[in-house]
Amino acid sequence: MTNKQLPVDGKGLLNNPQHRAIFFQVLALALVVFFAFYFANNMFDNIESRGITTGFSFLNNTAGFGISQTLIPYDDGTSTFLDVFIVGLLNTLLVSVLGIIFASIIGLLLGVARLSSNFLMSKLALVYIETFRNIPILLQILFWYNVVLAALPSPRQSFVYLDSVFLNNRGLLLPEPILQSGSGAVIISFVLAIVAVIYLVRWSRQRHNDTGQEFPIFKVSIALLLLAPTLVYFIAGQPITAEYPVLKGFNFNGGLTIIPELLALLFALSIYTATYIAEAVRAGIEAVPKGQKEAAKSLGLKDYVILTKVVLPQALRVIIPPVINQFLNLTKNSSLATAIGYPELVTLFSGTTLNQVGQAIEIILMTMAVYLTFSILISLLLNWVNAKMAIKGR
């Protein structure tokens, strides 16, 4: 029963149930505001009495320390604490995005393997899931960093792949792409190919709904994504080259280096989160009644068509909600990187910067705001995808 449906049993202000409900809500809100103001005022009084500086002016001060991995230009002697914040934010974003991609791929493969009729494959997937799901993620990060990667050889005895990829205790070294004049045309052609693939997917679905005929969308899409940029690449005079890592003295120079801390963090986060995604995938596929698959087979549909047209549209509605939670957990678990010194937001800003500046309130609030923003954006995006899937199923 709502407040408007409550009977009016008196003429006084507080004898009216609707008025009483509004009064108590306003009173509760006033109490919350009062206590929030009281604690905030008390906190600032204590800060002032101790002579602690407040405000965000410290962001313009020179940081004066080095960072092992930066995605933007950073100088130890001139960069500010605001640059440190941006570097930490970008590194956190890098770990989160790569971790979500790898965890999704591993989780999908494991979930399908759990349902395989092959006994060995199914049991191996089960052992993998039960093993890594029941070990704390922090221990797994320490295991990959201190046990596995620390045991790799020195640069002189690196593992070499195709004479251009090197793996040692300094990290994974890859050829670094060098963009020259004309490379923009290649990038634009790749973007246009993606847009064309999206249009083709929509067109093939509409064509299938109207005529029932299948279009080889996967093969055409792969050909379009590979051939269009390659053709423009050669027409533009091969404007994209690569700088290869070269061993000089005791270490490599040049190339793209993925530091061991990032590798350990990615291994641990991807493998741990993939176990939960695998179970979500298995539960989603098993939620589709077997009768529907048998009916589709009796109509002569191919296994690929049954999977894409019958199973996945229904399974995804069960899979997506728990997967959203796992993506959020992975993003928040990236803060555990501080245990191995990877320069993400918590390590750089809530660790090193806080120790140098001492303004805990501003730094902790900024760090919390970043994680809150990331979580809300991931939730909004995947809830939108989930809503689109639900509408299509009706």
The pLDDT assigned to 357 comes to 85
Which of 196, 204, 198 shows the shortest CA–CA distance to 228?
Answer: 196
Reported as a pLDDT band with limits 50, 70 and 90, residue 295 is confident
Q: Rounding to the nearest 10 degrees, give the CA dihedral for residues 37, 43, 45, 48.
A: -140
What confidence tens digit (pLDDT) does each residue in 31-85 have?
Answer: 999 998 888 888 778 777 777 777 788 888 888 888 888 888 988 888 899 999 9
Q: Token digits for 394?
A: 């009706």
Reported as a pLDDT band with limits 50, 70 and 90, residue 394 is very low
The pLDDT assigned to 298 comes to 85
Reported as a pLDDT band with limits 50, 70 and 90, residue 180 is confident
Query: The whole model's pTM is what?
Result: 0.79
Edge-to-edge strand ranges of the sheet holding 159-161: 159-161, 165-168, 171-174, 256-258
CA distance 317 to 354: 43
R_g of the chain, CA atoms, integer Å: 28
What confidence tens digit (pLDDT) does each residue in 318-358 have?
Answer: 888 888 889 989 999 999 988 998 998 999 988 899 888 88
User: Where on the phi/psi map is residue 60: left (φ > 0), alpha (ψ -120 to 50), or beta?
Assistant: alpha
106-115 as b/e: b if 16+ CB within 10 A? bbbebbbbbe
